[in-house]
Amino acid sequence: MKELLSPGWGWYVAILTLVSLAVCLWVLRANSVKKEHGGDPKLHGHNEWDGLREYDNPLPRWWSNLFYITVFFSLGYLILYPGLIVFPGLLNWSTDSLYKDEVKQAKAEFDPIFDAYAKQDVKTVAADKGALQIGGRLFQTYCVQCHGTDMRGSKGFPNLVDGDWLYPGTPEGIKQTIMEGRNGAMPPFGAAFKPEQITDVAQYVLSLSGRSTAADAAKRGEETFKTTCAACHGPEGKGNQALGAPNLTDNVWLYGGSLATVTETIAKGRQGQMPAHKDLLGEPRVHLLAAYVYAQSQEQAAAPKK
Ligand code: HEC
Ligand code: HEC
């Protein structure tokens, strides 16, 4: 609350509140004592109407006492809690500290569980049902926005359960991917190559998965591929997991396998980024996530294809 208001507003609220309370007290007090009038002390001099006379009695005690209690209650509240904005209250209570306490409690409760799993290797954890449940929940919180709730990814975001890996799909490889992040760096060739040269090499790329639509062009493209692309994608186009260079022969595409998309990839390059998670999540949680991804990929890659 304090962060949302400028200091001027804080003082405005504090002064208005305290002045209102003081006025309440004054009105109560003024109406709780007998006043001296000329004439009959019990009567207002003037108020008689139609046989009714207004007596000048103090307010009933029980009523004014209740009112005093409410005023002192609010004063006590404002001393203990941050109601006046400019004063944090003796208890130092805030929604912020409440939240931090909850986080602390949750850490105390869950950290030992995570730490126990972190001591086992990823493959062992991947066989533990309880660990996979926690890993699944972590995945649904931190990873689905890019890899999808079904882990099947989308254009530019790899499918994690198709058994096809850009980077090593071993338990350690997956853990490293999540810990440190990965940067795919496919350089753009639009400036270095003539447009025909790009189309030719794109046709050659399609031919690697048996889908070329122009055999001559593919043949011409082979030369360029061997001299320029093979350095990263390998002489046979089977990729290189150390660089994250995809296998171009398996007809599994990160960005798309149409002639137009492959041409675009070659001309403009691609820079897929998997963010590092070690600072955000800490190693024990990443360990569980790696086990979860590994287990899911094993299970789904083994399942018969639909
Ligand atoms: C901001 C989007 C984003 C988020 C969030 C994200 N990833 Fe990724 N991830 C990517 C991209 C993009 C790649 C591919 C990088 C490349 O193209 O080189 C990738 C790659 C991977 C790979 C390697 C896949 C392969 O084929 O080798 C794994 C494993 C992975 N992510 C797991 C995770 C997990 C687990 C989480 C949650 C902690 C996560 N990712 C969160 C975008 C994301
Ligand atoms: C410096 C290494 C490097 C060179 C050289 C290189 N590539 Fe790549 N290529 C990559 C990487 C890394 C990726 C993955 C990019 C990403 O993850 O965002 C990639 C991605 C691709 C893709 C996208 C595959 C998909 O699944 O969508 C195609 C197609 C491709 N490269 C073709 C080529 C061709 C053709 C050449 C030669 C003209 C070439 N590359 C040269 C590293 C390279």
Segment 16-75, tens digit of pLDDT? 999 999 999 999 998 887 666 555 656 666 667 788 877 777 888 899 999 999 999 999
**Portion of the chain with pLDDT greater than 90, in percent:** 77
Ligand 1 atom at shortest distance from the alpha carbon of 254: 17
CATH superfamily of 195-271: Cytochrome c-like domain (1.10.760.10)
User: pLDDT value at position 53?
Assistant: 78
Through-space distance between the first and last CA atoms of the chain, rounded to whole angstroms? 54
Q: Spell out the domain ranges in the chain.
A: 2-93, 99-183+275-302, 195-271
CA of 261 to the centre of ligand 2 (A): 12
Q: What is the per-residue pLDDT for 179?
A: 98
Q: Give dist(CA 90, CA 280) in Å, integer.
A: 34
Contacts of 97 (CB under 8 A, 6+ apart): none
Q: In the prediction, which pLDDT does 57 show?
A: 77
Which pairs count as long-range contacts for 135-141, CB under 8 Å and 24+ apart, including other chains?
A: 135/288, 135/289, 135/291, 135/292, 135/293, 135/295, 136/292, 138/281, 138/285, 138/288, 138/289, 138/292, 139/289, 139/292, 139/293
The finding on whether 284 has its CB within 6 A of some atom of ligand 2 is no
| pLDDT of amino acid 96 | 87
Q: What is the CATH number of domain 99-183+275-302?
A: 1.10.760.10
User: Residue whose CA is closest, atom 29 of ligand 2?
Assistant: 262
Nearest ligand atom owner, CA of 158: 1
Mean pLDDT calculated for residue range 236-256: 97
124-129-131 Cα angle (round to 5): 65
Tokens of 168: 């090593």
Averaged pLDDT of the chain: 92
d(CA 30, CA 214): 102
Residue of the CA atom closest to atom 17 of ligand 1: 272
Written as one letter, the residue type at 123 is: K
Ligand 2 pocket test, pick from 146, 222, 226, 232 with the greatest ligand atom count within 8 Å of Cβ, gives: 232
Q: Which residue in this structure is represented by tokens 């062009």?
A: 217
**CB-based burial of residue 128 (10 Å sphere; 0-12 exposed, 13-18 middle, 19+ buried)?**
middle
Q: Is-same-fold flag (99-183+275-302; 195-271)?
A: yes
Q: What is the pLDDT of residues 204-214, one digit of tens each?
A: 999 999 999 99
pLDDT at 151: 97
Q: What is the pLDDT of residue 45?
A: 63
Among candidate residues 124, 24, 12, 34, the one with its CA nearest the CA of residue 67: 24
pLDDT of residue 43: 64
Is 233 near ligand 2, meaning CB less than 6 Å away? Answer: yes
Segment 165-185 shows an average pLDDT of 97
> What is the pLDDT at residue 36?
61
Residue 238 has a pLDDT of 97
Q: Is the pLDDT of residue 300 over 90?
A: no
What is residue 100's predicted lDDT score, i.e. its pLDDT?
Answer: 92
pLDDT reported for residue 240: 97
Q: Please tell me the pTM assigned to this model.
A: 0.78
In this prediction, residue 38 carries a pLDDT of 55
In short, whether 146's Cβ falls inside 6 Å of ligand 1 is yes
| Arithmetic mean of pLDDT, 166-179 | 97
pLDDT tens for each residue of 79-138: 999 888 888 899 988 888 899 999 999 999 989 999 999 999 999 999 999 999 999 999
